[in-house]
Amino acid sequence: MTGECGGKRCPGLRRGGDLRGLVWLGLAGLAIGALAGARRRPDGEPNSHTRLAQMNGTPRREYYTGPIPSRAIAIADLRARTHELMPRLALEYLEAGAEDEASMMRERRAFADWRFVPRTLVDVSHRTLETQLLGKPAAMPLIIAPTGFNGLFTHHADLALAQAAASAGVPFVQSTMSNDAVEEVARVKGLRHWWQLYVFGADEVWQQLLERVDRAGCEALVLTTNTQIFGNREWSQRTRTSRSWPSPSSALEAALHPRWLASTLLAGGGLPEFKNVIEFVPKDRRGLFESAHWIRSQQPTSLSWDTVARIRERWKKPFLIKGILSVEDVRRALDSGVDGIVLSSHGGRQLDWTVSPLDLLPAAREVIGDRMQLYVAGGIRRGTDLLKALALGADAALAGRAPLYGLCAYGERGAARALEILKREADDAIGLLGASAPQALGRQFLVPAAQLGGVCRACGVMPGSIAVNESSHAMQPVPRASGPGPTV
């Protein structure tokens, strides 16, 4: 496979383990970047959503994008540094959604549709975020979501995320399309190691994968169900001349980011590979981009509840399915033998114009009751986002992009910083809300923003917007999973 330069073969961009052409461009980029000021400063405005605190552009506000992780005080700071350091092809892979990106936008806006109703004069001096996930303790109800191809951001990215998760006391879900071997990740001390499964190829592939991750000690399996047809991610596609190779302009632009080159291609001795599945790829299709495209082409559109049943029969540990956005599928999951579900739109990267996971969450909890674990994925950028998800019925939330912003900004220290930020924000907010633990959260602490005109004068409760007792307006926490199975 060769690159294309104006219709001609580009000898500097032949397929090879070390991608020598791009490395040479990178060395040139060191000089060009110094002369041309190639390192971009983000022009994002931290207060762009409101002008209440500013007049005529003052006080001037900027995100922190410097080299000290502890000075990043919000996920937005980590994101700003990510946009400063990463080339376009990496940013589009990280940030882009499908088509008009309406699903991705809805993931974030759904959180803004709810407002807190805090209780005051409540003793929260002994508050905690600790909880139980799949019957084991977690420092907070947060899980690092599965994300593939993290080697595009830095060398040993999956290991860095796993180490950050272990330090924070939360689970890490490793992707089938990760670039570090499952056995390497499993050696991270203290890690709660979960495995995300993509079904592709013949049944023997996923069966062998399950045997391998079981031997490695993975404690739970998460089956992704909504990616059998690859999402139309137009902006990411525009960085490539084909499905398997970046465009010359993208390659040149990437070469102007020497820090990225140093932490990916040079640190790893070339392009990463999908170490956990490469053995199933034909030998002539094992280039990085080529193998990714081949694997996507082998995902069966016949994936069904029968597949779930076959996997359940083989996998005896906790088993969750991820990608549900329908109440009917929530009901179906109750009878499927799985231990929990993850409401997810795959980060807004698959079908566009869907409801958000948060939109479905209250109805899903009503269907499930306390019979299985219910998680939500997508759009978590603040500790308050996590609390809203819990109050609407989630047992935990999965965060994908937020830890990746930290990873891109500062490596393992940045991923750890992202988790620290979310935990600090959630701990402060739960106290300000007047609750002492995740289990105490429920709809009594939320009102829909669209109905704020009709709050009851007697008690501050809005009829029809919060779950209330008709006679006394007494409000109850949402039901949580209980019993001999996984508990919270």
The mean-pLDDT minimum among 48-62, 254-268, 308-322, 395-409 falls in: 48-62
Residue 289's pLDDT is what? 83
pLDDT of 279 higher than 90? yes
d(Cα 338, Cα 202) in Å, to the nearest integer? Answer: 22
Both tokens of residue 434?
A: 């007047």
CB atoms within 10 A of CB 46: 14
Structurally, the chain folds into a number of domains equal to 1
- Residue 426: which region, alpha, beta or left (left: phi > 0; alpha: psi -120 to 50)? alpha
The mean-pLDDT minimum among 111-115, 185-189, 337-341, 467-471 falls in: 467-471
The mean-pLDDT minimum among 258-267, 312-321, 459-468 falls in: 459-468
Q: Are 160 and 153 in contact (CB under 8 A)?
A: no
Residue 270's pLDDT is what? 86
346 catalytic residue (yes or no): yes
Amino acid letter for position 342: V
SS3 321: strand
Report DSSP state, residue 426: H
Residue 127 counted as domain residue:
yes
**Average pLDDT of the segment spanning 37-55:** 60
**Average pLDDT of the segment spanning 375-387:** 98
pLDDT of 394 higher than 60? yes
Q: Of the residues 155, 257, 346, 473, which is catalytic?
A: 346
CB atoms within 10 A of CB 151: 23
Which domain does 400 fall in, by range?
Answer: 1-47+60-448
For the chain, give the percent of residues with pLDDT over 70.
82
User: What mean pLDDT, rounded, does the chain reach?
Assistant: 87
**Average pLDDT of the segment spanning 186-209:** 97
Residue 325 counted as domain residue:
yes
Q: Are 299 and 277 in contact (CB under 8 A)?
A: no
The mean-pLDDT minimum among 23-32, 51-60, 328-337, 426-435 falls in: 23-32
Residue 399 counted as domain residue:
yes
pTM: 0.86
- Tens digits of residue pLDDT in 330-347: 999 999 999 999 999 999
Residue 482 counted as domain residue:
no
CATH of the domain at 75: 3.20.20.70
Residue 379 counted as domain residue:
yes
